[in-house]
Structure 1
Amino acid sequence: MLNNANNSFTRNFWVDYLRSALTVLVVAHHSALAYTTFAKFDKKTYIFSTHPIVDSQRWVGIDLFQNFNDVFFMSLMFLIGGLFLSKSIDKKGVVNYVRDRIFRLLIPFFFLGTIFMLIAYFPSYYVANNKETGIVVFVYDFFHHQKWPSGPPWFIWVLFLFNLIGIPFQFYFKKLNDKIAVVFDSFGKKPLFFFVVFYLFTWVVFVPLTMLVGPGIWVGYGPFDFQLSRILLYFGYFTIGVLIGNSDFNKGIFSIQSGIVKNWKVWAFGALVTYAVLIRSEEILTKAIADGMLTVLNAHIIYWSVYVASCVLSNLAFLTIFRNFMDMESIGWNLLNENAYLIYLLHYIFVIWIQFCLLSVSASAWSKFLLTFFFAFILSFLVSSFLRKIRLVNKYL
């Protein structure tokens, strides 16, 4: 340990470490997708597959892990992404802030994201086209037939867009800064009320759109893809992050003395229980529809309402656990934090190539998942550490 809790608040170590932990979860999440029981591979258009590489080895336990992550972790990433918008604009000014976002988000997404995804998706092309290795044909197929898939870096361009949209909102929020601070500080004294407000807000920005367009629809142009059913959810959580960031959240809503933070065990237990209910509800609701006890519409409303509860409780659990236990600086966490962004950009290459290399290996799904995750994470970390020796890379990434 390098520092005490009081000194760490100025840098918000717990937020940095939470963001880093979520990056590790992203690596694990993608490492798991080749081994889920619902995985399918589309040889005609591999980008329509559930994952670029699909193994014959499957395990339902990996489904549970993958689905748990999917319920909450990207919404939490966007909430964290909004936390420091206000302070960054105040420190840099609008012009320098936009310039910084272009160099840190848009350019890496557009150029590094494209190069990295070209490397990452080649095994998928190879499998889909009966071991075809023509690079020129692959590149043409990548941009024209597969429509320039963005892969995990989709998050980066959407975050960039939210940052731009957030600028004019921020000037409005500034005028209400004192009132916003009072509201969010008061939530710390009313954890149950905060949960209800957070739940209702999440329900409104997620459930109606999901039921309207379906949960799995992705839209976009070129590499600028996004999941349509979740775009309001992500922007809503980003906005919550911006609003919280306009308050002194380490002394208010996320103070160690806050009722929200003190109840971390409640949120963690609730997250696990609610997720278990969510998984069990699929079978129960399907049977209820078949038996004529529920309409499809009502069953969907119930399912997505439980889904929202799982999302909110998992968000609160991770936020409060890290606020409680990550209030001191750590060398290991600092190293992870320094490399987290490049790990996010790089990991898909190693995940897919390792999964591809393991296709012919006789091993369990669980073993292949662990091998993929371990080596993808280590290799991403090592390459990131090497690239960050380059001055320009270290400055922006």
Structure 2
Amino acid sequence: MNPNHIGSSSPQKEGRLYFIDNLRAALTILVVLHHLVYFSIYNDVLTQGSIEVFIGLLFLAFNQTFFMGTFFLISGYFVPSSFERRGATRFIKDRCIRFLFPFIFYVLILSQVQHIEVYILGQEPFTWQTYFSHLTYGPMWYVELLFVFICLYAVWIKFMSKNKLSVVRQSTPPTYTMLTFFVMILAVSYFIIRLWIPALGLPGGAPEVQSFVGLFTASGYDLPQYVGLFIMGIIAYQRNWFRNTSDSMGRAGFGIAIGASILLLPLAFIFGLDRLQFSGGWSWTSLVFSLWEALFCVGINLGLIIFFRKRIFYQGKGWSFLSTHSFVIYIIHIPIIAIVISGLKVIQFPPSFMFLATVLITIPLCFMLGYIIRQIPFVSRIL
């Protein structure tokens, strides 16, 4: 097959994959919305027990099945080419600079801003004791875990070179057999890890395992998704999948995600709601829930990649801005959400309109501050 073939109707055939840049930018906005809903629910911006909270929890649950995993898929796709261009030493050095400085800055500075509500509304004094108690990596767990994956990839490449193994890039489109095999592995991995770390952060499991996995990821129950999709990204690069996957497979992906949600999700909830058995443990409903999540994850990723490849393959000023500023927006969005929510509570903003106001203020503020931050000398080289 022609290595430049990317489907039956996609106009982009060579050069930079702008549709992937656009997808990553769109996912960044989804992350901001995800945390807007999350913090609005758990900071009583939305009334507990209301239909808005129920819809919000569904929104969070569906997002959790794929959106951060898609970041790892995209990152995995670009790691081999970056590694080949720069070489191992320079590649790891560049990633250290790009990841380490933002990570440290978030933990030491922005983590306190993330907890601004306890200082302002909880009237907790700012002391060394409270400072250390509120240290957190926030959304930077993604950067930390990605760096671990990159280092493991570097070790693997070193191992391959010692054994004189070479990887030649091919243009072999994925098959449904490959994807089915991956779904099965992912579903079983979900089921196994949720024996110790229940899904959706629900109670139960093994605290020791949760504490260890929590050093690397905020949602340990989704670790198989992140590992699996990062590896799939590397394979996708080697086989040119982002270009040569057929359009029909993208449509099928959306169909699989919708069909699994209609057939499997109600089954897991109806029979597994008692004692939250669907979330983990030796329960058939946990296996069904794990299978649904694996199918939804793979299906929605297929659908989104093909959709953006066919429909949003160009970059105007808007997409270019989002793509350029997506990393800095990702870093600063949670502290901004915390500031906005705290500020609205201080001025006693009407509760009925507080969520809408939070959304309308936070998103433009993320864009504006993201732009300003990248104008700082040397910052743009990192962010």
Contact kept, 8 Å, 2:260 with 2:292, in 1: the verdict is: yes
Confirm or deny that 1:351 pairs with 2:337. Answer: yes
Letter in 1 for 2:44: V
**Residues 244-294 of structure 1: CA distance to partner in whole angstroms, max 9, x if unpaired?**
2223x2xxx2336x33x333233223323433445523441136899xxxx
* Partner of residue 123 from structure 1, selected from 117, 123, 127: 117
Q: Distance in 1 between matches of 2:57 and 2:341?
A: 17
Alignment match, 2:146: 159
SS, match of residue 24 in structure 1 = helix
* Partner of residue 140 from structure 1, selected from 114, 129, 146: 129
Confirm or deny that 1:11 pairs with 2:2. Answer: no
Within a 5 Å distance, the mapping from 1:311-326 to structure 2 comes to: 311-326=297-312
Shift of 1:358: 3.6
* Partner of residue 231 from structure 1, selected from 220, 223, 231: 223
SS, match of residue 328 in structure 1 = coil
Confirm or deny that 1:212 pairs with 2:212. Answer: no
Q: Distance in 1 between matches of 2:160 and 2:29?
A: 33
Alignment match, 1:150: 137
Q: Distance in 2 between matches of 1:78 and 1:330?
A: 25
Cα 1:113–1:275 change in 2 (3 A) is farther
Q: Distance in 2 between matches of 1:392 and 1:351?
A: 26
Letter in 1 for 2:229: Y
Cα 1:210–1:221 change in 2 (3 A) is closer
Q: TM-score, normalised by structure 1?
A: 0.80
Within a 5 Å distance, the mapping from 1:233-252 to structure 2 comes to: 233-247=225-239, 249=240
Confirm or deny that 1:33 pairs with 2:33. Answer: no
Q: Distance in 2 between matches of 1:194 and 1:318?
A: 19
**Residues 55-91 of structure 1: CA distance to partner in whole angstroms, max 9, x if unpaired?**
3524122222221111111111111111111111111
Q: Distance in 2 between matches of 1:236 and 1:287?
A: 28
Q: Distance in 2 between matches of 1:328 and 1:99?
A: 32
Q: Distance in 1 between matches of 2:70 and 2:285?
A: 26
SS, match of residue 213 in structure 1 = coil
SS, match of residue 115 in structure 2 = helix
* Partner of residue 186 from structure 2, selected from 202, 218, 229: 202
* Partner of residue 94 from structure 1, selected from 84, 88, 95: 88
SS, match of residue 313 in structure 2 = coil
Alignment match, 1:46: none
**Residues 173-230 of structure 1: CA distance to partner in whole angstroms, max 9, x if unpaired?**
683423x736xx142xx3x324312312322432211233323375359975543333
SS, match of residue 44 in structure 2 = coil
Q: Distance in 2 between matches of 1:9 and 1:84?
A: 15
Q: Distance in 1 between matches of 2:64 and 2:146?
A: 18
Shift of 1:315: 1.7
Cα 1:370–1:312 change in 2 (3 A) is farther
Alignment match, 1:106: 100
Cα 1:196–1:7 change in 2 (3 A) is closer
Confirm or deny that 1:73 pairs with 2:61. Answer: no
Letter in 2 for 1:123: E
Contact kept, 8 Å, 2:111 with 2:335, in 1: the verdict is: yes
Letter in 2 for 1:163: I
**Residues 299-330 of structure 1: CA distance to partner in whole angstroms, max 9, x if unpaired?**
21122222221222122222221122222232
* Partner of residue 78 from structure 2, selected from 76, 80, 84: 84
Within a 5 Å distance, the mapping from 1:28-67 to structure 2 comes to: 28-36=33-41, 39=42, 53-57=43-47, 58=50, 59=52, 60-67=54-61
SS, match of residue 315 in structure 2 = coil
Aligned residues: 353
Contact kept, 8 Å, 1:79 with 1:238, in 2: the verdict is: yes
Structure 2 alignment gaps of length 5 or more: 1-9, 202-206
Question: Aligned-pair RMSD on alpha carbons?
Answer: 2.8
Cα 1:325–1:170 change in 2 (3 A) is farther
Alignment match, 1:396: 382
Letter in 2 for 1:349: P
Q: Distance in 1 between matches of 2:89 and 2:138?
A: 29
Contact kept, 8 Å, 2:114 with 2:335, in 1: the verdict is: yes
Alignment match, 2:361: 375
Q: Distance in 2 between matches of 1:323 and 1:17?
A: 9
SS, match of residue 152 in structure 1 = helix
**Residues 147-172 of structure 1: CA distance to partner in whole angstroms, max 9, x if unpaired?**
x2211111111111111111122356
SS, match of residue 378 in structure 2 = helix
Q: Distance in 2 between matches of 1:370 and 1:173?
A: 53
Q: Distance in 2 between matches of 1:120 and 1:287?
A: 33
Identity %: 22
Q: Distance in 2 between matches of 1:369 and 1:270?
A: 33
Contact kept, 8 Å, 2:250 with 2:302, in 1: the verdict is: yes
SS, match of residue 390 in structure 1 = coil
Letter in 2 for 1:196: T
Contact kept, 8 Å, 2:113 with 2:338, in 1: the verdict is: no
Q: Distance in 1 between matches of 2:185 and 2:236?
A: 15
SS, match of residue 135 in structure 1 = coil
Structure 1 alignment gaps of length 5 or more: 40-52
Letter in 2 for 1:354: V
